[in-house]
Amino acid sequence: MTSGAQKFRELLARGDLIIAPGVYDGYSARLVQAAGFAMAATTGAGISNSLLGIDDIGVMGLSENVNHCRMLARTLSIPLTADADTGYGNPMNVHYTVQMFEEAGVAGINIEDQVHPKRCGHMPGKEVIPLVEGVKKIEAACLARKDDAFAIIARTDALAIEGIEGAARRARAYAEAGADLIFPDAVRTEEQVQRIVDAARVPVTINMGFGIRSRPTTPLIPLPRLKALGVRRVTLPRMLPAAAIKGMTRALEVMKEVIATGTPVDRPDLAVGIEDIMQLMDYDEMRALERRLLTTETLEAKYGTG
């Protein structure tokens, strides 16, 4: 059976621009696959926000992240990459972090060069570790994986601290250390994207945030233009959490109106039907399995009921 890591490598080998929406729970993961996207990527902020109910400031631990990603990976047949934050410590911690995520069935992980505990890449107050320590983390990650197809994605947050020169320098150094992809966070312009692509000389993945809505740290650059610049993958980590929050907020507003007026409403424009949920969660497969495993008439006829 082809692993998620091997599927991701096959996508990269095709040369097309890969679009990977961010997922954070079973619903979002299944929706991405059902919509026909070739791969998905976890959003560390989305998982931290939804699972713990707190800001993405490095409080979520390794075990919480790995266990959640394991459940998402088993839900999907498309490859899923995970956000492993800083690798949860020094290069030795990175070694074991990589092995745990690989065992969880994801296709690869982001490892960033922020100081631990990290912050969401779009928050002020970020700090980065020395370049040499970042290089050692990438070396540790490459050494730890058991399958060379497992992707080590080196994320650098240096742009906000060291400028484009520092970010490009780190991109090149992490690629030389063995990173399979370079992920420069919070790029703002096409010129910055081009500088990173030229420096890295390995596939570059860009975070486009909400994807369908502008954001100061992730401008809406047309996808054909990103491909022309040499970008190989675009992630949309905040799109689905933001869309879900928008939809839930509106549904709650309508429900408050129902409570105030006492008049029920039928709003299929605001909520899917139960049949849609059942289809998304593949209830038909579950029922087929029940018919096979919970039906005993044939065996009772053969062996009796004792």
pLDDT tens string 18-46: 999 999 999 999 999 999 999 999 999 99
Cα 119 from chain centre: 16
The answer to whether the predicted template modeling score (pTM) of the entire model surpasses 0.85 is yes
Please check the confidence at residue 121 and state whether its pLDDT lies above 60: no
Q: How many residues comprise the chain?
A: 306
Which pLDDT belongs to residue 46?
A: 93
Q: Say if CB 110 and CB 134 are below 8 A apart.
A: no
The residue type at 10: E
Which pLDDT belongs to residue 305?
A: 79
Domains and CATH numbers, the chain: 4-243 (3.20.20.60)
Token digits for 126? 């970020």
In sign, the C-alpha dihedral spanning 268, 269, 270, 276 is positive
Which pLDDT belongs to residue 292?
A: 92
What is the pairing mode between strands 151-156 and 80-83?
A: unpaired
